[in-house]
Structure 1
Amino acid sequence: MREHGIGHIVGTVLDAPENASAVAETNERARQAGFKAGYNECLTHVNPFFKSQFTDERSGFHGVDTKAAYAAAVDAYNNLSISALDDKGTGGAKYDAGTSDTKTY
């Protein structure tokens, strides 16, 4: 901590490939869930004006549970393990956060 400070830890978390991948996945799933919800909302407004009923069969998300996919991405992000901060991971933390009396250097 003395050498690196909290900024180094935050930078390590934000720059970790695991974090970047999980954030990208969560953003993509949120976009898809929003797109499907918007498409279905549009159908509820358009259908009363036409005799034939439009469906979401032409949507790329027809039959896809986008809400569940988004929830799974959020859950994966919340349980993310970043190897650079994990003592057991490949990166290994050189210094601990100073939360105990025993430190390994």
Structure 2
Amino acid sequence: MIANGCVCTIVTSILDAPENVAGVNEIRLRARDAGFKAGYNRCISHMNVLAQGKYTDERSGFHGVDTEALLAAALAAYNETSIAALEELEKFLEAEDYVDRLRVLYSDEEDEEKPAGDGKDGAGSNGTKKD
């Protein structure tokens, strides 16, 4: 598949799939919240040593929020996410002519307009150079 130029297009379509983008964004937000809460609580613990226990997280936006559980739920949801681009890829890989099918599914308009040799070292469609 690398020799036929499909890999970059396939990877890009998987990474840019709406299901993947939404899942990664949700994990990023939940991880950020969990990190903020952990940092806030650590800061409070250091301040309480100096101020003899006067500070709490009551004024924090994370008071009473289980950010770790929300992060774990986001990770579990992402791990169970079905990405349509991967399902299509799996179907095509089962066929004997999977390279041709992948080329049709993931072809760029620029690739279709280029001739087989495209003027680079005389390499033709069979991947060998002409001397």
TM-score under structure 1 normalisation?
A: 0.77
Is the aligned partner of 1:74 residue 2:70? no
Tell me, in whole angstroms, the C-alpha distance in 2 between the residues paired with 1:36 and 1:28.
12
Q: Which has the higher helix share?
A: 2
Deviation of 1:8 (Å): 2.2
Corresponding residue for 1:45? 46
Identity %: 49
Structure 1 unaligned runs (5+)? Answer: 88-92
Per-residue deviation, residues 54-102 of structure 1 (Å, max 9, x unmatched): 1101110111110011111111112221123335xxxxx59612x4659
Query: Aligned AA for 2:31?
Result: A
Aligned length: 98
Tell me, in whole angstroms, the C-alpha distance in 2 between the residues paired with 1:94 and 1:28.
30
Q: Give 4+ residue runs of structure 1 displaced > 3 Å after superposition.
A: 1-4, 99-103
Decide which moves more: 55-64 or 4-13: 4-13
Structure 2 unaligned runs (5+)? Answer: 102-131
Corresponding residue for 2:128? none
Query: Aligned AA for 1:18?
Result: E
Report the structure number with the largest CA radius of gyration. Answer: 2
Deviation of 1:50 (Å): 1.6
RMSD: 2.6
